[in-house]
Amino acid sequence: MEFNLENIVRKNIWNLQPYSSARSEFDLYGNGKKELTLLDANENPKGDLNRYPDPLQSSIKEELSKQKNLSKSQIFVGNGSDEAIDLLYRIFCEPGKDSVITCPPTYGMYEVSAAINDVEVLKVPLCKDFSMDLEAIAQQVRNDSSIKIIWICSPNNPTGNALLKADLKHDWEAQNYTRGGMMDMPFAPEFEAEMLENQRKLDRLFGAFNGIIVVDEAYQDFTENISFINRLEDYPNLVVLQTMSKAHGLAGARVGFAFASTEIIELFNRTKPPYNVNELSQRAVLERLLQSDKTQNDIQEIITNRAFLAEHLKSFDFINEVYPSEANFLLAQVENATEVYNYLRDNEVIIRNRSSQIADTLRFTVGTRKECEEVIKALSTFKKN
């Protein structure tokens, strides 16, 4: 099936004339001039934050384009990933008419934003091993032309596993390189078959759907899997979401990204509010993006602490299973999960009770080593009281 963007965009959005702000008409942030008399935007002439922020976040996109090996025109910067999620509904889904697919248990904002935008959610639950039921998704798509978006959170929240892999060839090379092998080491026959099957799955999923497939990579920095950003040229209906909230430690700044074709990103920019990311957040993001060594050190520390916490959680007899994680958290199946949650809360350790999504489960964010030790210490006294 040949993907046709115009056919799936809401007609009012396709024909929308965006608001023309003062800063979009005059590129204050890209012209390099220092001394300007600015009397075009009805701003207060005094103050440290008296000027409107760059509406297109040019400095951030400049740095991201280098780091992600993308054109700036393929990058959207939003007020958290939640803005990108909401804009996807606004751009592609007719209220009261269209629908989307989610794969629960997964990130709850897909469904909340659907409700806000009056869009039906069709649920294709994950399999018992938390893998995606791709055949069930394909069947839904074949039978229902109202489906406009498929939401895939990978690594998934709250299960922690990768639901979809962009390229197993990269995984093979990374594994052999880190284990002392050569980057061009030949594939094992069984792995080559797995790699080819993975590619067939991707081609079937993306090629059979004349809609948008969103891969939400909020936890991408904590996995060795290659990002789906590397497949944007292969799949024109792909949108990849990432965030500054997790690995970069800027949850309070509320900045997220969408990566897609130039045509899709142009629709994001046309539909968003003119000044959607404030100046303080833009400064913080750019500063952090330039601190790549610090970010990598923080990521490695979290991955190390994840293994440490997992090992100790498994030692408690009331914790039945600690699921493998490629994120910055661990999901555990726990006897009397709500009782354990309440006990930790009463001992000033706050985790997340996910039993409403997966029976008897608790989710532990991986913190500092001291914070991990505090969790272990509190759990060690649970059955003694």
Are both 308 and 355 inside the same structural domain? Answer: yes
Q: Which amino acid is at 373?
A: E
Are both 169 and 308 inside the same structural domain? Answer: no
Note the pLDDT tens digit of each residue in 310-334.
999 999 999 999 999 999 999 999 9
Bridge partner list, 149: 100, 212
DSSP state of 54: P
Name 217's Cβ contacts closer than 8 Å, sequence gap at least 6. 154, 155, 227, 228, 240, 241, 242
Domain that holds residue 215: 5-289
Domain end point (choices 289, 304, 320)? 289
What CATH number corresponds to the domain at position 301?
3.90.1150.10
State the pLDDT at residue 178.
46
State the pLDDT at residue 356.
95
Are both 137 and 178 inside the same structural domain? Answer: yes
Contacts 24+ apart (CB under 8 A), 116-122: 116/86, 116/89, 117/86, 117/89, 117/90, 117/93, 119/89, 119/93, 119/95, 120/146, 122/147
Alpha-carbon gap, residue 60 to 293, rounded angstroms: 17
> What's the average model confidence in pLDDT over 19-26?
85
Q: Is the pLDDT of residue 229 over 70?
A: yes
By mean pLDDT, which of 24-33, 156-165, 324-333 is the weakest?
24-33
Q: Is the pLDDT of residue 167 over 90?
A: no
Are both 168 and 234 inside the same structural domain? Answer: yes
Phi-psi region of 273 (alpha: psi -120 to 50; beta: other; left: phi over 0): beta
> What's the average model confidence in pLDDT over 146-160?
98
How far from 324 is each of 169, 176, 307, 336, CA to CA, in Å?
A: 22, 21, 10, 21
Alpha-carbon gap, residue 385 to 370, rounded angstroms: 23
Q: Is the pLDDT of residue 29 over 80?
A: no
Domain end point (choices 249, 269, 289)? 289
Name 253's Cβ contacts closer than 8 Å, sequence gap at least 6. 244, 280, 281, 284, 285
The alpha carbon of residue 207 and the mean position of all alpha carbons in its chain are separated, in whole angstroms, by 22
Are both 184 and 105 inside the same structural domain? Answer: yes
Are both 76 and 126 inside the same structural domain? Answer: yes
State the pLDDT at residue 46.
95
Q: Is the pLDDT of residue 172 over 70?
A: no
Domain end point (choices 289, 323, 354)? 289
Are both 15 and 113 inside the same structural domain? Answer: yes
> What's the average model confidence in pLDDT over 216-235?
96
Does an H or E element contain 247, and which?
none
DSSP code per residue over 274-301: TT-S-HHHHHHHHHHHT-HHHHHHHHHH
State the pLDDT at residue 357.
96
> What's the average model confidence in pLDDT over 68-73?
97
pLDDT band at 31 (very low <50, low <70, confident <90, very high): low
Positive or negative, the CA dihedral 12, 271, 233, 72 is positive
Are both 275 and 308 inside the same structural domain? Answer: no
Round the average pLDDT of the chain to a whole number and report it: 93
Are both 250 and 322 inside the same structural domain? Answer: no
> What's the average model confidence in pLDDT over 171-186?
52
State the pLDDT at residue 383.
76
State the pLDDT at residue 84.
98
Provide the number of structural domains found in the chain: 2
> What's the average model confidence in pLDDT over 14-39?
81
Does an H or E element contain 134, and which?
helix 134-143
Are both 374 and 279 inside the same structural domain? Answer: no
Are both 324 and 225 inside the same structural domain? Answer: no
pLDDT band at 177 (very low <50, low <70, confident <90, very high): very low
Alpha-carbon gap, residue 339 to 337, rounded angstroms: 5
Are both 203 and 220 inside the same structural domain? Answer: yes
State the pLDDT at residue 385.
60
Tell me the two tokens of residue 76.
């959207």
pLDDT band at 182 (very low <50, low <70, confident <90, very high): very low
By mean pLDDT, which of 142-146, 188-192, 240-244, 371-375 is the weakest?
188-192
Note the pLDDT tens digit of each residue in 89-119.
999 999 999 999 999 999 999 999 999 999 9
Q: Is the pLDDT of residue 188 over 80?
A: no
